[in-house]
Structure 1
Amino acid sequence: MKITVKDMIICGLFVSITALLAQIAIPLPFSTVPITMQVFAVVLTGVVLGGKRGFISQIIYILLGSIGIPVFTQLSGGFHLIVGYTGGFILSFPLIAALMGYISYKTDKLYYMILGVIGSMIINYGLGAMQYAFLAQVTLKDALIVCVAPFIVVDIIKYIAAITIGLTLKKRLKL
């Protein structure tokens, strides 16, 4: 894929959108994983930019955060967050953007979008819960109860909103 200046600018814009929406975080008293708007931003990125550019933008987001630039929730940054309790969720972002982007550029059929949402949620929850379970030294079942169950309904709403807005933006922006 040839990367143009336009691609760099658009990817940078969506890195910024992800960083901005990451600041909307609601801590939960029973979990170290807060409710954030990052997943909304990641899905939006994939749907608007497509698989390749969506993947690249989220890799850049993770790299910026890893070197200490405060792009993660609560204006935080650093490699310790990638290898910490919520790192698995963050590491899933490029895969989610790639999957949702690939699907949204191939079809706009609801059936495939639903499959994309299910696949993306499995990737996000799977990587996040596995890393959390490993670090917290709890069973995967316990990690799923703490890190996944409280978020499913809210995440489905975020996916629906991101896909709806993303498809509209994609048509209007003609990327």
Structure 2
Amino acid sequence: MLGAALFTALLSQLSIAVPGSPVPITGQTLAVMLTAAALGPMRGMLGQVAYVLMGAVGLPFYSRGASGFEHVLGATGGFLVGFIPAAFLVGLAARRGLDRSAWKALPLFVAGQLVIFAIGVPWLAFVARLEVATALQKGFLPFVPGALVKAAIAAMLMTLCWRLGRSRRA
């Protein structure tokens, strides 16, 4: 679980600012999908709980080394909180074998990221006092291409891991 938190913290440092949005593009969601699929629902979820808590108490785990409860309670906090149920759901689906082939894993990892958006965008709208359309423009639309790319990377990596694991047993 600590490894999941540390991996998410590491990939959070891959950060690109989005003009006009308080939400950056990061590698965090890639880490969430991969660790959840690898660890399963409970350990994957607890890894993300650890990530959010360690950043909240002051470790420089969030994008660009940020930390503190104000980030969890701020405009981007919903995305951080969204990692927790997304990890549980992706881990649950992976336990049922939906991460074994790229064609099954891709929609799984897209769905996991949609869970994060489903929590993050309304949170952004509420905290930043934005209308829903504006929150979608600032917290969802610019991130769709990256989310699809990260889902594809995660699907390919998990499929490769399963193939390597089978070839070692053979």
Shorter-chain TM-score tier = 0.7 to 0.9
CA distance in 1, matches of 2:80, 2:132: 18
Question: What residue in structure 2 maps to residue 143 of structure 1?
Answer: 135
Which sections of structure 1, spanning at least 5 residues, go unmatched? 1-10
Q: Does the 8 Å contact 1:47/1:163 carry over to 2?
A: no
Name the residue aligned to 2:8.
18
Q: Tell me, in whole angstroms, the C-alpha distance in 2 between the residues paired with 1:90 and 1:105.
A: 23
Percent sequence identity over aligned pairs: 29
Aligned to 1:49: 39
Figure out how many residues of one structure are paired with residues of the other and give that number.
164
Pairing 1:83-122 to 2, within 5 Å after superposition: 83-107=73-97, 108=100, 112-122=104-114
User: 2: CA distance between counterparts of 1:30 and 1:157?
Assistant: 22
3-state SS in 2 of match to 1:71: coil
Tell me the TM-score normalized by structure 1: 0.85
Q: Is the 8 A contact 1:55 1:97 kept in 2?
A: yes
Closer, same or farther in 2 for the Cα pair 1:129/1:159, shift >3 Å?
same
Please give the TM-score of this superposition, normalised by the length of structure 2.
Answer: 0.87
Most deviating of 52-61 and 98-107: 98-107
What letter is aligned with 1:116?
L
How far the C-alpha of 1:69 sits from its partner, in A, is 1.1
Contact 1:48 1:169 in 2 (8 A): no
CA deviation string 1:59-100 (max 9, x = no partner) = 111110111111111111100000101000000111111111
1:129 to 2:137 alignment: no
List gaps (5 residues or longer) in structure 2: none
